[in-house]
A and B are shown apart, each in its own frame.
Chain A
Amino acid sequence: MNLRLDESQRAFRAEVRDFIAENLPEESRRGQSLLTGVYPEPAISVPWHRKLAGKGWLAPMWPKEFGGTGWTGFERFIFENECALAGAPYVFPLGLRLVGPVIFTFGTQAQKDRFLPRILTDEDYWCQGFSEPGAGSDLASLTTRAVPDGDDYVVNGSKIWQTHAHHANMMFTLVRTGSGDGPKQAGISFLLIPLDTPGVEVRPIVSIGGDHDVNQVFLSDVRVPKSNLVGEVGKGWDYAKFLLRFERAGGFAAARLRASLKRIGRVLESRMAAGIEIHPDARRRIAEVAIDVDVFEMLELKILGPLAAGEDPGPISSILKLRTSQLKQDVAEAGHLALGEDGAIWPTEVESESDALPGDYLNSRAATIFGGAREVQLGLIAREAFRR
């Protein structure tokens, strides 16, 4: 057992570094450095998405036959670290990390042929239609209904918290197709809805940090071809659980947390250069958070490193999700602390990295809510402990 890079890993690292140095667009790097929301806007992420797609490096988490890279877990770890630490923007994960694995695992050949390439080429920008106003943590109580009618389903209902739905052209949804008898997890299906279909309306929601990232989506008599239903009718809940495990453990979050720490480091440096003293309590808290990120990096590598691309990480994904979300908040809070009294200022325009820290702190509160709230994860983790 060791953490030393072997010769091929060192060569791989150098190759990744060179590629980033030559190809990362400056606007993408700058946009990411000023990020306050959860994901950068398409204007920031898409140019980088296209560079990676051109190189064949966009989907390391996919099996090679669908456009993956064939990298080992350790290579994926090196790649994600190099990208994040160079300041590359986060590639929007909804297609790549969430619906992609569901389609290549459970989809028909026709669905794989149609949708997977369009994720890679950026023709489709996906959003997620799971939550509803009446179904948050209790997701299985969703009521959006899809009724068969000829070759179509007719969908009625409303979805909420769709990140980047205002940029997306596709939405993967959970809809009720069953009779309503039996457990509420039964009778749910996984349906792919083009957002340009008549009857779809997207309304913005402004976040706690003042950003427009999420939306509510209303569906009124929306006709969706039956060929857009993934897998078996009524098995949507199983596919959703599979997808959520990827959402919770689909990549090396420590690299992104490290990139945020790096931003805080630069802000600290510029504040000190301006003669502003950093309070010892803030320094100590930042040190503790940095320790937590160091440890989380190892935890993630230990769990994800041995997995093949596209392999289900299993129930341990709840521990990764919980810690990722808490650390996202802890890092953001450490950044806010680094600002001292200036942390009370809400910048009207984000022009510097320090301007981004208050909004980042505010928006980070969502991290323990979306993708299965903290309390849901704790329940799942406990149930796993009881099984042992």
Chain B
Amino acid sequence: MSTKRKIRIVVAKPGLDSHDRGAKVIARAFRDAGMEVIYTGLWQTPEQIVETALQEDVDVVALSILSGAHMTLFPKITKLMKQKGLNDILVLGGGVIPDEDIPALKKIGIAEVFGPDTPTNTIIKFIKENTQKTK
């Protein structure tokens, strides 16, 4: 008799760049795939993003950045998440992120990085497959 579990997801834009086209398109696609989406808006600090993930008890944190500051900001976010015990949340990266940075990002706990041209379905499929494992 339990209600069907919903995937809850934060779509966040850390850093100062304001290219939110991708983040918004993806937020809509997540909603249309039946997820509950919290879109944070621009200019979020790592603290705000992590606290949102905690209070909203999300399954996924999807980070979008196009300014090139991902190597500074992503590690801050994953570190904070670890400190707060948010170990069961899937963290994804998207935006303009050079291939050569991806191994380092995976090492710090970014589960996957989705570049431009990635179909939204690919990301949705990845989320559905990988959130079942953790919860």
Q: Do A and B come from one complex?
A: no
